[in-house]
Amino acid sequence: MGVATIPEGVQLRQAGITAPIAILGATNTLAEIRELVEYRLQPTIGHGAQLRRLAEILTALEHRLGIHVAIDTGMGRLGVHWTEGEAFARDCLQCPAVTVSSIYSHLATADDPDVTSCLQQQQRFDEVCRSLQRSGCALPPVHLANTAAVLLGRHLHYDWVRPGLGIYGLYPAPHLRDRLVLRPAMTVNSRITQIKTVPAGMGISYGHRYYTDSERAIAVVGIGYADGVPRGLSNQITMAVQGRLAPQVGVITMDQCMIDVTEVPQAQVGDVVTVLGTHPGGGAEDWAERLGTISWEILCGFKHRLPRLNLPASGRSHPQDWLAPGRRGVS
Ligand SMILES: Cc1ncc(COP(=O)(O)O)c(C=O)c1O
State residue 315's pLDDT score: 43
Pocket of ligand 1 (CB under 6 A): 24, 106, 146-148, 162-166, 172, 296
Protein residue closest via CA to atom 8 of ligand 1: 164
pLDDT tens, N- to C-terminus, the chain (331 residues): 999 999 999 999 999 999 999 999 999 899 999 999 999 999 999 999 999 999 999 999 999 999 999 999 999 999 999 999 999 999 999 999 999 999 999 999 999 999 999 999 999 999 999 999 999 999 999 999 999 999 999 999 999 999 999 999 999 999 999 999 999 999 999 999 999 999 999 999 999 999 999 999 999 999 999 999 999 999 999 999 999 999 999 999 999 999 999 999 999 999 999 999 999 999 999 999 999 999 999 999 998 889 888 766 554 456 666 666 667 778 7
Distance 158 CA to ligand 1 centre (A): 16
State residue 304's pLDDT score: 84
Protein residue closest via CA to atom 2 of ligand 1: 106
State residue 309's pLDDT score: 85
Choose one of 106, 152, 158, 161 to mutate for the ligand 1 pocket test, by most ligand atoms within 8 angstroms of C-beta: 106
Bin 286: left if φ > 0, else alpha if -120 < ψ < 50, else beta. Answer: alpha
Q: CA of 281: how far to CAs of 190, 205, 290, 318, in Å?
A: 16, 20, 10, 20
Residues 6+ apart with CB under 8 A from 229: 188, 223, 237, 252, 257, 275, 276
Cβ(271)–Cβ(192) below 8 Å: yes
* Domain residue spans of the chain: 2-179, 188-330
Cβ(20)–Cβ(1) below 8 Å: yes
CATH fold of 188-330, please? Lyase, Ornithine Decarboxylase; Chain A, domain 1 (2.40.37)
8-state DSSP, 212: -
Residues 6+ apart with CB under 8 A from 203: 210, 211, 250
State residue 317's pLDDT score: 52
Whether this model's pTM surpasses 0.75: yes
Distance 76 CA to ligand 1 centre (A): 14
State residue 314's pLDDT score: 52
Distance 304 CA to ligand 1 centre (A): 20
Distance 204 CA to ligand 1 centre (A): 40
Domain 2-179 class, CATH top level = alpha beta
State residue 6's pLDDT score: 97
Do the two domains 2-179 and 188-330 of this chain adopt the same fold?
no
Cβ(273)–Cβ(241) below 8 Å: yes
Distance 146 CA to ligand 1 centre (A): 5
